[in-house]
Amino acid sequence: KCRVRLEYSWKQLWTALISLLKFVVHHETDLVHEHNIFQLASQVINIFNLFITYGDTFLPTAGSYDELYYELIRMHHVFDSMYSMALRYTTGEVQWKESAAKLSNHLVNVRAIIQHFTPKIDSWSASNHLTALTEDQVLDVVRCNYDTLTLKLH
């Protein structure tokens, strides 16, 4: 068995993907009548799921994996909005209902990461009497709390 580590600035990719999701959420009302935005969003989320589930086999360092989690947590509002958008289309007889349901299911791991680490970060922040944390402080909290995180294999 051989492992290949891909040297790349992964943070740029994650930022671009999150920006695409932000665009879709922001322009939902304009796009949803003409395009299956849920299928596009699912494809983007599945790229994140690939990194979440298998990133340790090809990301160059453990720090790269930590940075992925940091970006997901930092940009949680985009994923929260994406999930809310998907839920709105899973009820009633609406176009794209099935695709919206798939998107909400694909968001399980991203949401689990956000829901797992956010209270731990908030607790650490409160116990250290800080209102704003640096990236390094958040990464330290993330590194110390991987062991209690449960994810779903995709």
**What do you get for the CA distance between the two ends of the chain, in Å?**
22
Residues sharing a CB contact under 8 Å with residue 117, sequence separation 6 or more, in sequence order: 69, 73, 141, 142, 145, 149
| 3 vs 90, more confident | 90
Please tell me the predicted confidence (pLDDT) of residue 154.
64
Q: What is the mean pLDDT of residues 6-10?
A: 87
Q: pLDDT class for 93, splitting at 50, 70, 90?
A: confident
Percent of the chain with pLDDT over 90: 81
Residues 104 and 83: beta-carbon distance below 8 Å: yes
Q: What is the pTM of this model?
A: 0.92
The one-letter amino acid code at 75 reads M
Alpha helix positions (H), the chain: 10-26, 28-31, 37-54, 62-74, 76-88, 97-106, 108-127, 135-144
Please tell me the predicted confidence (pLDDT) of residue 2.
59
Is 153 a residue whose pLDDT tops 80?
no
Q: pLDDT class for 134, splitting at 50, 70, 90?
A: very high
* Boundaries of every domain in the chain: 10-148
Is 1 a residue whose pLDDT tops 70?
no
Could you give the 3-state DSSP secondary structure of residue 104? helix
